[in-house]
Amino acid sequence: MKRRTFLTTGLAASLLPDHQAIPQGNTQAKRAIRIAHITDIHIGPGNRSAQGFAKALQFINSLSDKPELILNGGDCILNALETDKADVKAQWQLWHSVLRQENNIPVMSAIGNHDVFGWFMPNDTLKNDPLYGKKWALDELGMSERYYSFDRQGWHFIVLDSIYQTPNPADPELGLAGRLDDQQMRWLANDLANTTRPTCILSHIPILSACYQFFRFETRAGNQIPASLLTHTDSLELKNLFKQHSQIKLCISGHLHMQEELTYLSIKYLCNGSIAGRRWIGPFQEFEPIVTIIDLYEDGRTQHYWYDYTKAPR
């Protein structure tokens, strides 16, 4: 297998646009659970997304060593931020249709920015719609709360809501940022204080990232994309919280459609690409469509595999 690893003091980065599965780490400990991470599916009528999503799920479900759980990182649908209700409804219907037909593994979900309904719409009356904001996505994904935690096979899992509203009428596309609201931050601190199990944290937007700097040069009316749209703006506060809790082993995210591994203060941060690549028209920068398989071990170590599911053997 082909492996490329770049090591620096206190920081290990592995940026792998390969089409092969790349194992990371080496452990003799007993595996506790195998999970799949899918993110940034962007499913919607009129493109290749339904066929692509189906193929990704078929790949995961047909693995000889099959995952016991799928973590869905959000951006399930093409776009609800500035799309009318009929189109958003059609997107969610397609999501459910493919998921029902192609998947039989339990799924736990986070909300992505494109799953949020109406935040970028100019019509203020839309705010009175009971489905406005995150409510619609919560209903579709079967989530009772925006953020939550659960235990599985000796591991503790935390699912965060990293989509924070920052209204900007002059430029609606700047109307959100990656961060936790104050209530969620207090909840997270309390949740971490009440577990000693090895912990995996799922967010849509990366808490820590290097490759977001290359995303910033994607065209946005000739300007660089603000970092606040690409990575957590409260990363320092989260870092200071995390260093108090040695049980945190892994943070996984999507959003950037790029693959990245960082290790900082003994926590591994994985940005795990996108099932959609560049919205179903090819790779995003150097990165092909991807699914991630992660083995979590009883001693807290992890091993991950990045697959271009359109090419990789099972």
How many helices and strands in the chain, by DSSP H and E? 6, 15
User: Residue 127, SS3?
Assistant: helix
- Bridge partner list, 148: 159
Q: Does the 6-307 domain belong in CATH 3.60.21.10?
A: yes
The neighbour count for residue 235, using CB atoms within 10 Å, is 16
Q: Identify the H or E element spanning 86.
A: helix 85-102
Backbone torsions φ then ψ of 187, nearest 5 degrees: -60, -45
pLDDT in tens, 6-63: 222 233 333 333 333 444 555 478 999 999 999 999 999 988 999 999 999 999 999 9
Q: Is 11 left (phi over 0), alpha (psi -120 to 50) or beta?
A: beta
* Amino acid in the structure at residue 52: G
* Contact call for residues 109 and 141 (beta carbons, < 8 A): yes
Query: What does the angle CA 69 – CA 251 – CA 244 come to, to the nearest 5 degrees?
Result: 125
* pLDDT over 60 (residue 313): no
- What is the distance of C-alpha 300 from the center of its chain? 21
Whether the pLDDT of residue 225 is over 90: the answer is: no
Where residue 312 falls among pLDDT bands split at 50, 70, 90?
Answer: low
* pLDDT at residue 1 tops 90: no
CA dist., res. 215 & res. 213, Å (int): 5
